[in-house]
Amino acid sequence: MSSTFIGQKLRLSIFGQSHSAAIGMTLDGLPAGIEIDPDELQHFLNRRAPGQNDWSTPRKEEDRPDFLCGLKDGFTCGAPLTAVIHNNNTRPKDYSQLKITPRPGHADYTAEVKYRGFQDYSGGGHFSGRLTAPLCIAGGIVRQELRRHNITVDARIAAIAGIRDESAFEASVADKAFPVVDDEIGEQMRAAIQNAREDGDSVGGVIECVVRGLPVGVGEPMFDGVENQIARLIFAVPAVKGIEFGAGFEAAELRGSENNDPFLVKDGRIETAANHAGGILGGITNGMPVVFRAAVKPTPSISRAQQSVNLTTMEPQELRVTGRHDPCIVPRAVPVIEAAAALAVYDLILGESIWN
């Protein structure tokens, strides 16, 4: 497996399975002297944590990071920073059938083949959405540090089940239990989630993320551009099946004269009149907000009957997934997307050399 993100400076190692003794992360390459505000971090983690409201799984985990090393008096000390979350509310018996009857839309089958039967299938093992918790520890810390440099990373629900919130995304919605801009549309989304739950089904959605305050010149052409780097990290989030920057797929339908963002001078600074480029030209930030959207598929774990195959007999077998599942993971995925984006841009900034 390659659960180690190798960035320009950061190396983020994420470890754990859904039902192992602990899950966690080591973040190596963080400068010394970064303060970690534990309350703010906990608030960030709570936004992702399950069991807090009606649209998420009733499994309750506190998601309290236990820092094993890398900190001294609340500041990073230059050594790798490791935090673990102990798994204490595991119910491995829920998953015993999945080794021979893989869940559609899940990694059960591909893991069975790849790891030749040795994988830890309980709760999805290392493929579980639970592994986004350590990603949020790393990203939450980095997001704090970015804000100290006046760089903000904020995401919101842009759509659920086809219901779109097309309001402008000006201010953070991090304090909302349901992170949309337009709460009325949010109500419609929640109703759609509730309907899906009642049908033993699930829905997906789109998350939009905006990074403000980046200087001009972050990123590189070709393989280490801002888009490459963000995409590489965002596709580490389970269930993401697409990403677009700025106008994205819509840009493909525009003419150049519409899609090109005219340059202008505002307050003595170069800006662009629109932001179809999503803040990125040639892989490099242009000083405008970096904007992207990620498509999140509907949660594959649904209680409705589905068609699978018994891998032992190679006969068709109907499957009903039991256990605790979110009918929609989009709300909880919002801070995860922020975490991944924060790591992406922070690492690119750290990669800028003192001698450049």
Give the footprint of a second copy on residues 45-74 (CB under 8 A): 66-70, 72
Q: What number of chain residues touch a second copy (CB under 8 A)?
A: 152
**Range in contact with a second copy (rule: CB under 8 A) among 46-54, 125-133, 165-173, 175-183:** 125-133
**Residue 184: CB minimum distance to a second copy, A:** 20
- Could you tell me the smallest distance in angstroms from the CB atom of residue 67 to a second copy? 8
The footprint of a second copy on residues 184-213 (CB under 8 A) is 196, 199, 201-206
The closest of 135, 95, 101, 89 to 240, measured between CA atoms, is 135
Cβ–Cβ under 8 Å, residues 249 and 195 = no
Tell me the closest approach of the beta carbon of residue 316 to a second copy, in angstroms.
7
Judged by CB under 8 A, the residue of 39, 93, 262, 267 near a second copy is: 262
User: Under the criterion CB under 8 A, does residue 80 sit at the interface with a second copy?
Assistant: yes
Distance between start and end Cα atoms, the chain: 34
Residues 45, 65 contacting (CB under 8 angstroms): yes
Q: DSSP class of residue 35?
A: B
Minimum separation from the CB atom of position 121 to a second copy (A): 9
Burial class (CB in 10 A: 0-12, 13-18, 19+), 322: exposed
* Nearest of 319, 256, 331 to residue 108 by alpha carbon: 319
| Residue 175 or 314 having the CB closest to a second copy | 314
Binding mask 285-324 for a second copy (x = CB under 8 A): xx--------xxxxxxxx-x-xxxx-x--xxx--------
Q: Which residues have C-beta within 8 Å of that of residue 245, sequence separation ≥ 6?
A: 227, 230, 277, 278, 280, 290, 291, 292
Instruction: Name which of 171 and 241 has its Cβ closer to a second copy.
Output: 241
Query: DSSP labels for 314-344?
Result: TEEEEE---S---S--HHHHHHHHHHHHHHH
Give dist(CA 268, CA 271) in Å, integer.
Answer: 9
Near a second copy by CB under 8 A: residue from 98, 136, 180, 233: 233
Among positions 156, 245, 336, 342, the unique one binding a second copy when judged by CB under 8 A? 245
Q: Looking at beta carbons only, is 101 or 154 nearer to a second copy?
A: 101
CA distances from 92 to 86, 88, 186, 323, 326 (A): 15, 11, 34, 10, 18
Q: Which range binds a second copy by CB under 8 A, 18-26, 47-55, 168-176, 180-188?
A: 18-26
Residues 126-165 close enough to bind a second copy by CB under 8 A:
126-127, 131, 149, 159, 161-162
Residue 304 · residue 320 · CB < 8 Å: yes
Stretch that binds a second copy, among 37-45, 56-64, 170-178, 229-237 (CB under 8 A): 229-237
Does position 241 interact with a second copy (CB under 8 A)? The reply is yes
Under 8 Å between Cβ of 248 and 276: no
What is the C-alpha to C-alpha distance for residues 61 and 232, in angstroms, rounded to an integer?
28
| Least separation in angstroms between CB 269 and a second copy | 9
C-beta closer to a second copy: residue 43 or 80: 80
Q: How far is the CB of 228 from a second copy (least distance, A)?
A: 4
Contact range with a second copy by CB under 8 A, out of 36-44, 50-58, 169-177, 347-355: 347-355
Please list the residues that pair with 263 across neighbouring strands. 272
Taking the complex as a whole, how short is the minimal distance between the CB of residue 103 and a second copy, in angstroms? 8
Sheet containing strand 66-69, edge to edge, reads: 4-6, 11-15, 22-28, 81-86, 66-69
Q: Which residues touch 294 (CB under 8 Å, ≥6 apart)?
A: 206, 207, 209, 234, 237, 240, 242, 243, 337
Interactions with a second copy, residue window 267-286 (CB under 8 A): 268, 270, 272-273, 276-278, 281-286
